[in-house]
Amino acid sequence: MLEQLDVPMLHPLLLNSRTEQEWRQSASGLEPSLLLVQVMLPELDVSVEMFPIAALQEDGEDAELNVPLKRLALIPERTKRLTDRIRRWLALRSKPNAEKKLALIGYNYPPGEGTVFGGSFWIHSNR
């Protein structure tokens, strides 16, 4: 369907196991399981723009069960980043190809001249 519409698949993610503060203070950023499910697998499906836009937030306590309550809350500057990126994607569609810039990023593993771009894989596109 996205190919017929000729649009990218954006995949902002929700930090459903951490608060914003825990995420910002974390040296690792995302837990391995979240990285796999919310970043790596969507990339294989050709998704773009995988970055957090919401995180857990303290939301009181359940008096009967005596447990803290949390809810997902948007992270304002991250949602602004997403909307700005969407605006740029839309602007790019109307820009003449001669005015567009392209960057190629190659993953070189294992190191060596014979493996330049060897760790990268290319996804065929009709665009």
Summarize pLDDT for 75-112 with one digit per residue, the tens: 999 999 999 999 999 999 899 999 998 887 776 666 66
pLDDT at 124 over 60: no
Structure tokens given for 118: 């060897």
Put simply, whether the predicted model's pTM sits higher than 0.75 gets the answer: no
Summarize pLDDT for 34-55 with one digit per residue, the tens: 999 999 999 888 888 899 999 9
3-state SS, residue 46: coil
Q: What span, in angstroms and rounded, lies between the C-alpha atoms of 52 and 35?
A: 11
Mean pLDDT of 16-43: 91
